[in-house]
Amino acid sequence: MDHDDVDIIFSDVVMPGMNGVELGKEIRARWPDKTVVLTSGYSHALAEDSGHGFPLLHKPYSVEELSRILRDAAA
Show contacts of 65-70: CB within 8 Å, 24+ apart: 69/37, 70/8, 70/10, 70/37
**Mean of the pLDDT values across residues 3-9?**
86
The pTM score is 0.82
Q: What is the pLDDT of residues 17-61, one digit of tens each?
A: 998 989 999 999 999 999 999 998 876 555 455 547 899 888 999
Give the total number of structural domains in the chain. 1
55 cis-preceded (ω within 30 degrees of 0) = no
Q: Please check whether residue 37 lies inside any domain of the structure.
A: no
Q: Please check whether residue 5 lies inside any domain of the structure.
A: no
**Mean of the pLDDT values across residues 2-8?**
82
What pLDDT does 38 receive? Answer: 92
Q: Please check whether residue 26 lies inside any domain of the structure.
A: yes
